[in-house]
């Protein structure tokens, strides 16, 4: 830092000096030019005004009058005097002060006589700096030259003015240098040296393991924004690596086997060897949106991204997704690729572009007005249009083409397709790349065969799915429903014992892989008052006073049972009026698929029902339901999870429902009660939740009362068991199991002689 200060001071001194010298030089030039021009003008005016008088005196030979004239103008405002010469260049009359200097006429006088016109020059005669303006004199009658008049000024004051400017500039520059150096040193000390020292101390603490902050913030480095991002990323990486190492050491010591992001990455790298993973989903892991003149990067909250990013990191994989951001096209290269994450690229995002008609038909139409209600038993009739099916097929083919381009030079590709948007994709990929191992994970329920058979394109959908080597569902019941559907719809051979299907000389394994959430292994907060204080602060911000709080977090979807939930809260307040003014339920409801009429209508119904119940029960500072009808990030939702006395998950039908698991994973205080619909996949695992039938309003109302009145010891015991289960079966374990099963797939490929043979059981 001392060397930096010395360099900075020297640079400032040199810089200020050079600037001052250049400025002064320019000012002197301008001043000299101005003073000279002014002097020339005054000399010309004076000469013109005296010429007539002097010419008359010379013509009449009035020596006495001529002498008086030249002596009268001596030493007047830098004017030294006058000199009058005859045509032979002898002085006729001369000011006394000029007698010794100009007894012989200078060249300028001779030039004036020779050229018969006014002539001027700056001369140095002896030690004197002079300006002489010479004007020829003419006879009044015939314009004959009868002599010359010389006006002589002292030009030394111009040089004196220049020296004065240089002197003032030097003193001013010296003062500026001193002030600038002092101010710069203070700025360096307060704004640079201090933050750098604190940042260095923070990095040292992080390196030595003394830092306790899990989330890195570097406010002091705001001045060095690019450096700050890199330092923060490096620090976050160090902190994450240290935490992972400490966790791994603790797990080894206790002989536990918990999956972490690092362990998943190592596991996948060992299994894949030189293979590469390709993920296909409708939603992209990173989107770019325009905000004013800048472009903002967004990462949608998704457990899928959390689970699969470590896998893609490990194998330099590729994620193929729909580019839906309004600035997505501006950020990709000519091949529609983008390295991600933006701050620390580890894998490739390949974006696929859809027209408005394609998005409307494939996504909003067939996927969400057809397949979504078909697979969820929520009493909403699915809508099937031939035009939507056409777009669904075209978009699946468009994604298949993009994926095949990315896989072109890859020897051992593994493809993981996500969800019901791409049921046709596995068969399309296998038709071109039979050497690829393809899995599809179906994130929503699979209905029974009778329900599925109403789809006009049932056989095409099932055949497309059976192109995969591995099909994953959340629970065994959905696997069984799928196998029964296959048995009814297409010609195949089903191995019920091993849960596999043989169709068209291709074997497909159907397995359950219950998805989960990330689990942060934090110590419980034993202060006892933190949840209460956080709850009070959240309710105060919502303008409500209440002692107890419930929480619900859902997309505004008819499968989530939000209307049934509100009816249960109303019934609870009817049966137990002592909780009026005491209990408030906060419903975070993110708008979803508002282009679809059923979702648009549902949003209005939910708002109307909340308003009706509030109108019935609310008082001045309390109301039973607070509806937050807007998008919330995971960081914004977490405080509600931590502060709530209970969480209501009343889905009418759900593949898994990760809200239930997120609530449990967030409760590091080991308190709070989960009320969970028995129609969710999560209900198979979270047996310690209060399980309810969401259609039974009285049962849900009783569960709310039981949750609020449950002893603290029972709450803690239930929560401890659920947290242990999620901790051991987190999202990284889900990804490891799914990828591991895909790597173990044995491929049947046709040889050159037409015979079929099996490829190795693992990618390696």
Alpha carbon 556 to chain centroid, angstroms: 27
Is there a single domain that holds both residue 371 and residue 451?
A: yes
CA gap 627, 625 in Å, rounded: 6
Does residue 124 lie in a domain region? yes
Top pLDDT among 12 and 335 is at 335
Does residue 231 lie in a domain region? no
Q: 617-628: string of b/e by CB count within 10 Å (b at 16+)?
A: bbeeebbbbbbb
CA gap 283, 302 in Å, rounded: 10
- Which tens digits make up the pLDDT trace of 114-137? 788 888 888 887 777 888 888 888
CA gap 347, 318 in Å, rounded: 6
Does residue 55 lie in a domain region? yes
CA gap 698, 549 in Å, rounded: 19
Cβ distance 186 to 5 under 8 Å?
no
Is there a single domain that holds both residue 552 and residue 498?
A: no
Average pLDDT over residues 322-340: 93
CA gap 703, 708 in Å, rounded: 9
CA gap 22, 28 in Å, rounded: 10
Tokens of residue 709, six digits: 């009145």
758 pLDDT band (50/70/90 cuts)?
Answer: very low
Give the residue from 161, 191, 208 where a domain finishes: 161
Is there a single domain that holds both residue 575 and residue 713?
A: yes
Is there a single domain that holds both residue 667 and residue 704?
A: yes
Tokens of residue 683, six digits: 């209900």
DSSP state of 404: H
Does residue 568 lie in a domain region? yes
CA gap 438, 743 in Å, rounded: 10
Is there a single domain that holds both residue 458 and residue 341?
A: yes
Is there a single domain that holds both residue 541 and residue 638?
A: yes
Is there a single domain that holds both residue 493 and residue 587?
A: no
70-76-79-85 Cα dihedral, nearest 10 degrees: 0
Q: Is the pLDDT of residue 151 over 70?
A: yes
- What is the domain extent for residue 592? 530-728
| CATH number (domain holding residue 134) | 3.30.450.20
CA gap 176, 567 in Å, rounded: 76
Is there a single domain that holds both residue 493 and residue 550?
A: no
CA gap 474, 442 in Å, rounded: 8
Tokens of residue 562, six digits: 């939000």
Q: How many residues are there in the chain?
A: 764
764 pLDDT band (50/70/90 cuts)?
Answer: very low
Backbone angles phi, psi at 381, to 5 degrees: -70, 130
Does residue 482 lie in a domain region? yes
137-141-144-145 Cα dihedral, nearest 10 degrees: -10
* DSSP state string for 592-606: --TTSHHHHHHHHHH
- Which tens digits make up the pLDDT trace of 38-52? 888 888 888 888 887
pLDDT of residue 742: 93
Q: 158-195: string of b/e by CB count within 10 Å (b at 16+)?
A: beeebeebeeebeeebeeebeeebeebeeebeeebeeb
* DSSP state string for 73-88: TTTBTTEEEEEEE-TT
- Which tens digits make up the pLDDT trace of 563-593? 999 999 999 999 999 999 999 999 999 888 8
Is there a single domain that holds both residue 310 and residue 338?
A: yes
Does residue 177 lie in a domain region? no
Is there a single domain that holds both residue 576 and residue 501?
A: no
pLDDT of residue 243: 62
pLDDT of residue 231: 63
pTM above 0.95, yes or no: no
Q: Name the most confidently modeled range: 18-22, 65-69, 326-330.
A: 326-330
CA gap 668, 233 in Å, rounded: 27
Average pLDDT, the chain: 85
Q: Is the pLDDT of residue 303 over 70?
A: no
Does residue 349 lie in a domain region? yes
CA gap 519, 50 in Å, rounded: 105
Does residue 414 lie in a domain region? yes
Number of domains in the chain: 3
Is there a single domain that holds both residue 458 and residue 567?
A: no
Residues of the chain with pLDDT > 90: what percent? 50
Alpha carbon 315 to chain centroid, angstroms: 25
Whether a cis peptide bond, with omega within 30° of 0, leads into 533 is no
Is there a single domain that holds both residue 480 and residue 582?
A: no
Q: Which helix (H) or strand (E) holds 720?
A: helix 712-728
Alpha carbon 469 to chain centroid, angstroms: 38
Give the residue from 480, 512, 544 where a domain finishes: 512
| CATH number (domain holding residue 413) | 3.40.50.2000
* DSSP state string for 432-498: H-TTSEEEEE--S----HHHHTTSTTHHHHHHHHTTSSEEEESSHHHHHHHHHHHHHHS--EEETTT
Average pLDDT over residues 456-462: 97
The SS3 call for residue 412 is: coil
């Amino acid at each position: 830092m001392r060397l930096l200060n010395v360099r900075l001071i020297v640079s400032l001194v040199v810089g200020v000096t050079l600037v001052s010298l250049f400025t002064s030089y320019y000012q002197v030039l301008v001043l000299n030019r101005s003073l000279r021009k002014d002097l020339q003008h005054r000399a010309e005016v004076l000469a013109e005004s005296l010429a007539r008088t002097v010419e008359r005196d010379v013509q009449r030979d009035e020596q006495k009058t001529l002498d008086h004239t030249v002596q009268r103008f001596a030493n007047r405002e830098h004017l030294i005097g006058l000199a009058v010469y005859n045509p032979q260049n002898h002085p006729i009359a001369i000011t006394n002060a000029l007698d010794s200097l100009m007894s012989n006429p200078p060249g300028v006088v001779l030039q004036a006589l020779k050229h018969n016109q006014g002539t001027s020059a700056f001369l140095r005669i002896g030690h004197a700096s002079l300006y002489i303006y010479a004007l020829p004199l003419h006879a009044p009658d015939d314009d004959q030259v009868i002599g010359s008049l010389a006006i002589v000024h002292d030009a030394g004051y111009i040089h004196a003015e220049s020296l004065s400017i240089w002197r003032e500039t030097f003193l001013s520059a010296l003062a500026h240098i001193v002030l600038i150096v002092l101010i710069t040193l203070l700025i360096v000390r307060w704004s640079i040296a201090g933050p750098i020292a604190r940042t260095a101390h923070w990095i040292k603490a992080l390196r030595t393991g003394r830092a306790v902050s899990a989330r890195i913030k570097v406010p002091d480095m705001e001045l060095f924004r690019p450096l700050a991002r890199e330092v923060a990323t490096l620090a976050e990486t160090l902190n994450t690596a240290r935490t992972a190492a400490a966790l791994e050491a603790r797990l080894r010591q206790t002989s536990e086997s918990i999956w972490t992001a690092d362990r998943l990455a190592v596991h996948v790298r060992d299994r894949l060897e030189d293979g590469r993973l390709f993920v296909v989903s409708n939603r992209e892991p990173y989107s770019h949106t325009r905000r004013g003149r800048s472009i903002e990067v967004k990462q949608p909250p998704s457990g899928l991204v959390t689970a699969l990013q470590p896998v893609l990191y490990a194998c330099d994989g590729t994620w193929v997704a729909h580019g839906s951001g309004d600035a997505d096209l501006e950020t990709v290269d000519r091949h529609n690729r983008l390295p991600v994450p933006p701050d620390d690229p580890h894998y490739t995002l390949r974006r696929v572009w859809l027209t408005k008609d394609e998005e409307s038909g494939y996504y909003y139409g067939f996927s969400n007005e057809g397949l979504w209600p078909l697979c969820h038993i929520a009493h909403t009739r699915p809508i099937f249009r031939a035009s939507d099916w056409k777009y669904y097929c075209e978009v699946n083919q468009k994604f298949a083409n993009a994926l095949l381009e990315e896989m072109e030079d890859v020897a051992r590709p593994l493809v993981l397709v996500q969800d019901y948007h791409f049921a046709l994709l596995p068969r399309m990929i296998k038709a071109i790349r039979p050497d690829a191992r393809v899995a599809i994970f179906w994130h929503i329920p699979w209905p029974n065969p009778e329900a599925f058979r109403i789809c006009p394109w049932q056989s095409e959908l099932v055949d497309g799915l059976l192109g995969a080597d591995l099909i994953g569902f959340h629970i065994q019941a959905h696997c069984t429903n799928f196998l029964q559907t296959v048995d009814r719809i297409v010609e195949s051979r089903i191995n019920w014992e091993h849960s596999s299907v043989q169709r068209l000389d291709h074997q497909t394994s159907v397995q359950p892989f219950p998805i989960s959430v990330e689990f942060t292994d934090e110590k419980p907060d034993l202060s006892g008052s933190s949840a209460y204080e956080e709850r009070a602060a959240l309710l105060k911000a919502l303008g409500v006073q209440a002692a107890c709080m419930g929480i619900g977090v859902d997309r505004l979807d008819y499968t989530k049972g939000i209307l049934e939930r509100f009816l249960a809260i109303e019934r609870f307040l009817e049966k137990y009026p002592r909780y009026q003014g005491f209990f408030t339920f906060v419903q975070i409801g993110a708008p979803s698929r508002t282009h679809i009429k059923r979702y648009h209508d549902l949003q209005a119904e939910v708002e109307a029902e909340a308003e009706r119940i509030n109108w019935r029960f609310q008082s001045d500072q309390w109301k039973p339901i607070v509806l937050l009808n807007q998008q919330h990030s995971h960081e914004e939702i977490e405080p509600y999870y931590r502060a709530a006395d209970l969480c209501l998950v009343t889905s009418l039908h759900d593949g898994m429902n990760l809200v239930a698991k997120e609530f449990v994973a967030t409760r590091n205080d080991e308190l709070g009660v989960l009320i969970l619909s028995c129609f969710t996949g999560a209900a198979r695992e979270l047996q310690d939740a209060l399980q309810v039938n969401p259609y039974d309003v009285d049962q849900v109302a009783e569960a709310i009362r039981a949750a609020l009145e449950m002893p603290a010891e029972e709450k803690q015991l239930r929560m401890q068991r659920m947290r242990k289960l999620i901790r051991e079966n987190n999202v990284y374990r889900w990804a490891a199991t799914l990828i591991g099963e895909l790597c173990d797939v044995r491929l049947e490929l046709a040889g050159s002689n037409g015979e079929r043979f099996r490829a190795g059981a693992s990618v390696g």
